Chains A and B, each alone.
Chain A
Amino acid sequence: MKSKKVLSRRMTFILMLAPALILFIVFNTIPLITGTMYSFTNYKGYGSFEFVGLRNYIDLFSDTRVWNSYLFTFKYAIVGTLLVNVISLVLAMGLNSKIKMKNTLRGVYFLPNVLGGLVVGYIFSFIFTYIIPAVGSALNIGFLENSILASEEYAWIGVLVVGVWQSVAMNTIIYISGLQTIPGDIYEAGMIDGVTPWQKFRRLTLPMLMPFVTTNLVLSTKNMLMVFDQIMALTKGGPAQSTESISYLIYKNGMDGGQFGFQSANAVMFFVVIVAISIFQMVITNKKEEQL
């Protein structure tokens, strides 16, 4: 009698898990495995193909375009993650304090996340190409007169501005929810001890917020590493291939060009890199988390 009950209980859990598991396997695990399989071929995306062994992986290391895309992506992700987390933490503290129209403001600051990446990209593209240069030439500010997206050296900053502007929204919300979990009595205790505002932030808020910092760092690093929409809408990898991110290159040459096999190898490589970075980040930041 009892074992039957346990069994049915277990069945329920399995049944609850099954749909998600099946979906995950069908749309994630199986494509991952087939992709890995294709990474050992010279498949074009159609027609016949041959197995070429490790050739694609060896080519990855000698391909300057792939190297440049990794360089760009990491430069973008590191600067982007730092900016996003600093800005969103500041915004979250502001939006969590006692100010007027708090809820409206929170809504407004969340708006960029609701808008689609492509839409935002096209709007910014227009701003960068026409509005800022017009302002620049009206006010005689030399470096604003040319569109930043047309500069080989600085186009990545243009992409970064849009990327950061958009991802700050989500991280701010996560930080606000984090700030709300910190019990007020800690601050009261601090007040009795007479902390300065900086000490309050450094010694009380930040340690208590650490789990959320971990989540945000991992999330935004991953988002920044996968940058795609903004590039599609703003630069298409240009000028002079200076803003080709890894995802963009995989899509462009794997789908559009006939490099399905080679770019599958690139994707497998990228997957390994992202997993490694995520694990590294979790290990480092987990050590800094305080438990009450």
Chain B
Amino acid sequence: MRKGKVAISLVAAAAILTSTLLSGCSADSSQQGVTTVTMLQYKPEAVKAFEKIEKLFNDTHDDIQLKIESPNEAMTVLKTRLIREDYPDIVGIGGDMNYSNFLDADLFEDISDIEIIDTINPAYSKMEKELELIPKEGVYALPYAANAAGILYNKDMFESNGWEIPESWSEFISLCDKIKASGTNPLYLGYKDTWTCLAPWNALAVGLAPSDVCSNVNAGKTTFAAEYPEVAEKIKVLLDYAEPNPYAYSYNDACTAFARGQSAMYPIGSYAVPQILSVNPDMNIDSFTFPANENEEDNVLNSGIDLHFSVMKNTKNKEAVYEVLRFLFKDETVQIYLDDQGGIPCKQGDFELSKFLNGMEKYIREGRMSDYQDHHYPSEMSVDAMIQTYLMDKSDNAAELFLERFDKEWVRYNRDLIARVQKYEEEHK
């Protein structure tokens, strides 16, 4: 009994001691003219790479101390910190609707005077521009890494059967027929998790619809019923080549089935590779761009910004922040990140790409890429569930109904935005 008490008081004493020591430490460093730059990045799976980068930076810089935070559920953490007005200096988030909304709420600093901009792959700079809900002057984010979606395939299975990588829609369909005839599932779909419906949807849409379709709809120049019929038609064809009743299986189920060789291909993004390898570490996976068109030249790779850096508006030490950004975009630093995370670099240069992206490399080098269209869909509209509903609808006019609903709901969920966009268009005629 007494022993326990002694132990507790010892622990308490130690805790108090270390906390005072630690606080003393940080007070010291700020007195010596060291600027602290805090960065919050939203990919907890990349924490190892960022710890390495943080250490390298701090070892080479005496006057700046970099602190990188990689919390789980970073978006929630970030949003709560925004409410408390406790801003980090740099945020590393994805190029999706959240970013668009933050940018729209005027949270980020214009960083068009940093020279790194010239080294960025123009395809990604264009994507950044398209993420602005209302067109803005200046540059607000530096794209760092991207992922790509298309078709992942089982390389060993393709080689032993002599199957060729398809380059057009009809080649793709005849390949699927051939695989089906051999007794294997051509595709495996995990449509129980509705978001996975968006993977083939996006991959088809980038090839079949213009990349700025959403902002054009907002501006009243077109409708989804006019832009999406072919996407809707082709995504339904995929069902003929998948396992029966794909709505019963989740993303995890589909990854596992593909890893175990239950299908030859899997229409999903490169982000699924780690999950598949965790089931079957020896699997030989490669990828190719979704051949949505009849002409190979019309095909576009579906690639989106997975991580980009923005500077918060009220940062006090812009110079130090720029120094951090310059360091992050050094070739060696980018390679550290790529080696760990295996994405696509947004910086131009000779980087070693992950072997799972071999089949997409040509498109990446040529910059024939376009962003995920769902990065422009409001999440509360649940387009993924609408696609699932459409796929399950067996009636003859299903596509018409679906596109009609798409247009109708789009107006309802984007009402405030559309009003502002059209006002902007009026003013900038």
Contacts and interface: CB of A to CB of B under 8 A. Distances in A.
Contacts of B247: 150, 238-239
A46 B101 CA distance: 9
Ranked 4 nearest A-B pairs via Cβ: A257-B380, A147-B248, A47-B105, A150-B248
Contacts, number: 75
6 contacts: A45-B79, A59-B412, A129-B248, A146-B244, A239-B247, A257-B381
B188 to A, nearest CB: 14
B389 A150 contact: no
A240 B82 contact: no
A146 B245 contact: yes
Interface in B102-117: 102, 104-105
A272 B208 CA distance: 47
Contacts of B54: none
Given A47-B101, A48-B105, A241 B248 contact: no
A146 to B, nearest CB: 5
Contacts of A147: 245, 248
B83 interface: yes
A76 to B, nearest CB: 18
B227 interface: no
Interface in B236-272: 244-245, 247-249, 253
Given A147-B248, A150-B245, A257-B380, A238 B192 contact: yes
A44 B248 contact: no
Nearest to A146: B245
A257 B379 contact: yes
B247 to A, nearest CB: 4
Contact of A129 (B194, B249, B378): B249
A47 B103 CA distance: 10
A248 to B, nearest CB: 11
Nearest to B78: A46
Interface in B58-114: 79, 82-83, 101-102, 104-105
Contact of B101 (A44, A146, A256): A44
Interface of A: 42, 44-48, 59, 63, 129, 133, 146-147, 149-150, 152, 235-241, 252-253, 256-259
A152 B194 CA distance: 13
Interface in B382-414: 382, 385-386, 388-389, 392-393, 412
A239 B392 contact: yes
Given A42-B416, A48-B105, A240 B378 contact: no
Contacts of B388: 238-241
A129 B392 contact: no
B42 to A, nearest CB: 15
A46 B80 CA distance: 8
B193 interface: yes
Contacts of A252: 380, 382
B245 A46 contact: no
Given A150-B247, A239-B247, A46 B82 contact: yes
A236 B380 contact: no
B379 A240 contact: no
A273 B16 CA distance: 53
Contacts of A253: 380, 382
The listed residue with most A CB atoms (<10 A of its CB), out of B102, B194, B382, B388, is B382
Contact of B194 (A42, A46, A238, A256): A238
Nearest to A256: B379
Given A44-B101, A241-B382, 20 more contacts: A45-B79, A46-B101, A46-B105, A47-B82, A129-B248, A133-B248, A146-B244, A150-B192, A150-B247, A152-B392, A236-B193, A238-B192, A239-B388, A240-B392, A240-B393, A241-B385, A241-B389, A252-B382, A256-B379, A258-B379
B79 A46 contact: yes
Nearest to B416: A42
Nearest to A125: B250
A146 B379 contact: no
A72 to B, nearest CB: 14
The listed residue with most B CB atoms (<10 A of its CB), out of A146, A150, A236, is A150
B105 A237 contact: no
Contacts of A129: 192, 248-249, 253
Contacts of A239: 191-192, 247, 388, 392
A258 B378 contact: yes
B83 A46 contact: yes
Interface in B272-316: none
A233 to B, nearest CB: 11
Given A129-B253, A150-B192, A258 B392 contact: no
Contacts of A150: 192, 245, 247-248
B201 to A, nearest CB: 15
